[in-house]
Amino acid sequence: MHRITVIGGGLAGLTVAVTAAEAGAEVTVHEAHHTLGGRARTADGPYRTNDGPHALYNGGAHWTWLRQRNLIGPLAPIPPLEAARLRLRHRGALRRTPPLALLKLLKLLKLLRRGVGPAPVDTDFLTWATGIAGEEGARAAAHYCAVALFHHDPGSLSAAFVQERLRRAARLPPEAHHPRGGWAGVVDRMAALAWNLGVRMETLSRVDTLPTGTPVVVATSLDAARRLLGDSSLTWPSGRTTLVDLAVRTRRGDAFAVSDLDAPGWIERFTAQDRTLAPAGEQLIQGQIPIAPHESKAHGTARAEQLLDLGFPGWRERLTWRREAVAHGRTGAVDLPGTTWRDRPAVDRGDGVYLAGDQVAAPGLLSEVSFNSALTAVSLALGHRGLDLKRA
């Protein structure tokens, strides 16, 4: 009987637990918080905000893995009338469609959907995209991509890295899907499956020293892994983002979402597709505004309020609840020019210690990185190098 210890009960840790248990291992999960889920937790009512990723993308193995195990649950599709209320901010004004000056952006997106490229790894996205769509179109494309990057300057990142995320974020029909009720249902189903497979899960169990005698998968943030392992090399760039959550009384005509093409930023009314996230008569709006290292939360909040003024007139008078925070190093890895996911901290740390999470050496978009690194960690920990794990 193989035994594996998992430190961290978020998406990565639960994926490790389920996959290892399906392969016949005896698994123990240690979670420092009193509930499982990590950054995929959903707040208890009445306003069910997500702390982490807001969407599941159906273009990869992560979606297939979850579906095979009936873990996705009911989805909250976006009604067509609501989808038509997507707005774009350009030159300070709100637009229903891209302005004439951004038609080259549409050409770029069309080329990306056809798979043009690959975009170069060692060139920044703004330089590469400017050669295709002009500087204005390239900047708008980079800013639109902030919805999947959480970074204050997407144009400065590797062209290959940003191209893939832009291609998937702009695909029609959309790849992004929203679990009804937030991520909590997905987490609960993953935890229930783990329990049924015999996984032992200990909450309020903070681990300060690595256990011995079994392989250990550290499925925490990279910062926490660095402290636990005492390994200063465990660093990688990530975004820094002001998160603004608020509830307002319902008003006809509110935008579904506002994408800022003047600077990175995204505001979305999540009750447009899922009315269970707020009490009747109220709308839950969540925004993410990437901020530079020298900028404060107030900078991001001010930009969020500008988007709210455009897309949700009178929101201040209708406000019923509000919360703000800054996410630092918690929004997944970003790759600078000259680097790819292979250059991030390796999953295998030696001596039976493995990493899993959204900033380690694994491919994918947002939560897909956690999933792929988790499967790699299990494969290495069980000695199944090159062997397909059960249904994985």
Whichever domain contains 138, its CATH number is: 3.90.660.50
Give the strands of the sheet with 282-290, arranged side by side. 93-95, 86-90, 257-260, 266-269, 282-290, 238-249, 319-333
Are residue 15 and residue 95 in the same domain, yes or no? no
14 domain residue, yes or no: yes
161 with 264, same domain? yes
Q: Are residues 95 and 136 in the same domain?
A: yes
Residue 388 resides in a domain: no
Average model confidence (pLDDT) across the chain:
90
Range of the domain at 39: 3-74+181-236+338-381
Q: Please report whether residue 110 resides in a domain.
A: yes
Quick one: 199 and 296 in the same domain? no
What φ, ψ does residue 42 adopt, rounded to 5°? -115, 130
- Tokens representing 359 are 């900033």
Structure tokens at 133: 């769509």
Bridge partner residues of 324 (DSSP) = 244
Is the domain of 83 the same as that of 161? Answer: yes
Residues 107, 167: one domain?
yes
Q: What is the rounded distance in angstroms from the CA atom of residue 188 to the CA atom of residue 44?
A: 13
Q: How far apart are the first and last CA of the chain?
A: 20
CB 280 within 8 A of CB 329: no
Give yes or no for a contact between 359 and 236, defined as CB atoms under 8 angstroms apart.
Answer: yes
Are 264 and 327 in a shared domain? yes
- 158 plus 275 within the same structural domain: yes
pTM of the full structure: 0.92
Q: Does residue 258 share a domain with residue 168?
A: yes
- The pLDDT assigned to 99 comes to 67
The residues with which 216 forms a beta bridge, in sequence order, are: 5, 353
Model confidence band, residue 388 (pLDDT cutoffs 50, 70, 90): very low
Give 127-134 contacts, CB < 8 A, sequence gap 24+.
127/159, 128/159, 128/163, 129/155, 129/159, 132/104, 132/107, 132/108, 133/104, 133/105, 133/107, 133/108, 134/104
Torsion of Cα atoms, 221 then 385 then 190 then 57, to 10°: 70
Together in a domain, 218 and 329: no
Residues 307 and 367 placed together within one structural domain of the fold: no
pLDDT tens by residue, 253-294 = 999 999 999 999 999 999 999 999 999 999 999 999 999 999
Better-predicted residue by pLDDT, 77 or 171: 77
295-327 pLDDT per residue, tens: 999 999 999 999 999 999 999 999 999 999 998
Of the listed ranges 49-58, 147-156, 226-235, the least confidently predicted one is: 49-58
State the total domains in the chain.
2
- Mean pLDDT, residues 232-254: 95
Same domain, 185 and 217: yes
Confidence category of residue 391, pLDDT binned at 50, 70, 90: very low
Q: In the predicted model, what is the mean pLDDT of residues 187-214?
A: 95
Q: What is the CATH number of the domain that holds 70?
A: 3.50.50.60
pLDDT tens digit sequence for 174-198 = 888 889 988 889 999 999 999 999 9
